[in-house]
Structure 1
Amino acid sequence: MSAHVVGGWRAAFLAVEHHWTWYRRNWRATVISNFLQPVLFLLAMGVGFGSQVRDGAATGGHPYLVFLAPALLVITAVQNAVFESTWAVFSSFKWQRTYLAMASTPVTPAQVLHGQLLWIALRLASSTAVFLAVAAALGAITSPAAVLAVPFATLAGMAFSAPVVAFAATREKPDSFNAVFRFLVVPMTLFTGGFFPLSQLPGWLHPLAWVTPVWHGIELARGATFGTLRPLPALGHVAYLTALLAVGVVLGRRYFHRRLAV
């Protein structure tokens, strides 16, 4: 590696430029998973299943479609984050070896990681913004404050993405990624208060939901959308998600250096 190292932010943006160059040529391959699928799910659950939900008390007095939309925004962000943080990262190490090419330049392994995480954050922010606009067009968004759900959903996605990126950097085979989806993503999707209030689950399950980034993201997104978010709880949710993100970055820097340092 050259002794001359590119400045931190510049190197990160160079890595983002690499991802953007690929994405602008291949974005059509992600339309269904990132944009169309969440909208269809919102229609199926919010309009289809939601038409059978008669108890407004369970949804805080809101129509089920309105109750579901901010939570689904967070769930979609986390699901997209996992896709971007598993096989894509593994491929850049083992198959395409893109990271190795980057690290052979004046870009450091840590800067490679920072660029990857910044790219994932940009992807999550753009996809959740589009989803929010479509949800608003469908009548699922009733407050301008719902725009705050976009950064909250992005933060929740990154709080899960960063540790998963670090985990992916330790893998020699991609087999364990199926377990991430099966035992982490699916339970976080179903049992963190997105589709029904957490209070309807047994009490012993509540602490398991509380440690997930999805629950914190849903609380932030719903609170902002419905005007029920209070400063102190909001600070606690943001601090927890930021801590998870920071842990992922620290671990990621260690594992990227181990894999890429020459």
Structure 2
Amino acid sequence: MKTELYNDNFQNFKRYGIPKAQLVIADIPYNIGNNFYGSNPMWYKGGDNKNGESKLAGKAAFNTDFNFNIVEYFHFCNRLLKKEPAKSNGRGKSSDAPCMIIFCSFEQIPTVIKTAEKYGFKHNIPLVFCKNYSPQVLKANMRICGATEYALVLYRDKLPKFRNNGKMVFNWFEWKRDSTKEYPKIHPAQKPIGLLKRLIEIFTDEGDVVIDPCAGSGSTLRAAAELKRNSYGFEVSKEFYRRAKEEMLVLPADNQMSIKDFL
């Protein structure tokens, strides 16, 4: 199995000669800029507004959260994904067609659907992830707090490859936080590896290719590697890339990763 992370923009994918993916999965920036910590106690020193604002007040979590271009994203991701098979696998059987999964804010969903259609992704399946906690603790007794995350499964014509041993899959998933003893916390928007593994299991087989164009902490690549999928990721931040390489993408000797340096 190959697991390769590039410190580069996904637009430059051609220079690496990576294979086309069965699944492209990413958490795109929400374009909320300096309001990333707006409802989070981290806005204040020690999480208490009595102590005044912290160094995170009025700051973005990462540079791409100001001007992420979703049209450009789809233009390239459409090329990262392999073509649909010419034939189906027969009546009552799942096809081998690929798909994309995009984590996005609730407000972004209409824009994502509209843009996806322009690039041939005519169909979508909305997914909801339910938490048993909320980061929106400021003035929590005065409003309804968000405790959900959202994503869209996007596909072209044929229903994508579906692997669940004939069992039913709901359109909502439980969002369980990773144990920090097992996986490092690197990125402020890092998704639980257990959740990523569940999605990868459903839409791919062992040996398939998974690509994360916005790799961040490398959690998608770690999840894919543990499931024996080939995975490739792109991360423009040198710091996130370094920490992903040194902390997240480390497995026992019998499942070695190949982390490429392109600085």
- Structure with greater helix percent: 1
The TM-score, its normalising length taken from structure 1, stands at 0.28
The TM-score, its normalising length taken from structure 2, stands at 0.28
- Structure with greater strand percent: 2
